[in-house]
Amino acid sequence: MPDIGLMMLIAVVLLALTFDYINGFHDTANAIATSVSTKALSPRIAIVIAALFNFAGAMSGTQVAKTIGKDIANPALVTKEVIIAALLAAIVWNLVTWWFGIPSSSSHALIGGIVGAVAAGNGIAVLKPEGILKIVSALLVSPLLGLAMGFLFMNLLFWVVYRWSRVKVNENSRKLQILSACAMAFSHGSNDAQKTMGIITMALFSAGLLDTFEVPLWVMMAAATAMALGTAAGGWRIIRTMGSKIVRLEPINGLAADLASSTVIYGASLMGMPVSTTHVVSSSIMGVGSAKRVRAVKWNMAQQIVTAWVITIPITATVGGLTFYIIKFF
């Protein structure tokens, strides 16, 4: 007879890596949309850069992984069925929003799926209110920081280059965008890939295969590789939205947005705070556009994105809970 527990654990790992891969191509736009839209980088080169630096960022730490794995619910009480249901909910939502080109949050999708599945499988009492509040607070505050930092960086750059010719500004900004795209991809990997590491480590810990909640090296390598491969696959539908439908970007605008986004995201990673890279990048672009001219921002598209942000957690929590009941029924 096959070991059902082992098969379920393998299923968790494979689903988590699938989520990580989808997250990679779903969020490729976060790292490279600005540099592609301003023609600082060709799409092909931009995707290679994003994949390499996503991998490097994913290997840079485990603080976010520990937050995801320990602060939402007691990992010792979370069953493999619960984790599978949470991952399926997040994957479905990511694929739906990718298909329609909506830059929704993979982080919101995963956290919503975990909360819904844990509540269905173990009861609300198992959830950790303090940890959930910390995570939700980070998800809410980080877009505001992105908006403010985008506005600030754009104004600082305007002050630096106000005497330069337009040609000089564009030429130097495109060169610097190569570096800022690398920084953006690194910060993205440092936050998003660690969420998958936290899920896999949670499953290993609950199965009794780990004595302490420490992320194994093979988990780090696997998550980093899955995200890099997903990034290499690209996400062209969302690149179009992020790169042109929010605000028309010039090279200096893309540079400011990248600097703002990478600063906020990597700062959050160092503090172990999971944030939505999609939220931060979108709001940074809005901040940059507002620094140019408030009317330069296409607020109708921004409104659609915000709507997706708001509904993601309730939808994925519901789907996560229903998926758990379906798994238990069969």
- H/E stretch holding 142 reads helix 129-161
pLDDT for 295: 65
The reported pLDDT for the residue numbered 116 is: 94
Specify the DSSP class assigned to residue 243: I
Q: Quick one: tokens of 122?
A: 């173990």
Q: How many helices (H) and strands (E) does the chain have?
A: 13, 0
pLDDT at 176: 92
pLDDT at 246 (0 to 100): 44
The predicted pLDDT at position 305 comes to 62
Q: What is the dihedral of CA 25, 26, 31, 37, to 10 degrees?
A: 100
pLDDT tens-digit series, residues 173-232: 989 988 998 998 899 999 989 999 999 999 999 888 998 999 999 999 999 999 888 887
- Separation of alpha carbons 18 and 230, rounded Å: 9
Q: How far apart are the first and last CA of the chain?
A: 18
pLDDT at residue number 207? 87
8 A C-beta contact, residue 272 and residue 53:
no
State the Cα–Cα distance between residues 217 and 197, nearest whole angstrom: 10
What is the rounded distance in angstroms from the CA atom of residue 284 to the CA atom of residue 153?
10
**pLDDT confidence of residue 234:** 63
* Confidence (pLDDT) at 238: 47
Reading the block at residue 63, the tokens are 């603080």
What is residue 242's predicted lDDT score, i.e. its pLDDT?
Answer: 46
Reported as type and span, the H/E element at residue 11 is helix 4-26
Q: What is the pLDDT of residue 101?
A: 67
Closest CA to 69 of 188, 212, 169: 212
Report residues of the chain scoring pLDDT below 50.
1, 238, 242-244, 246
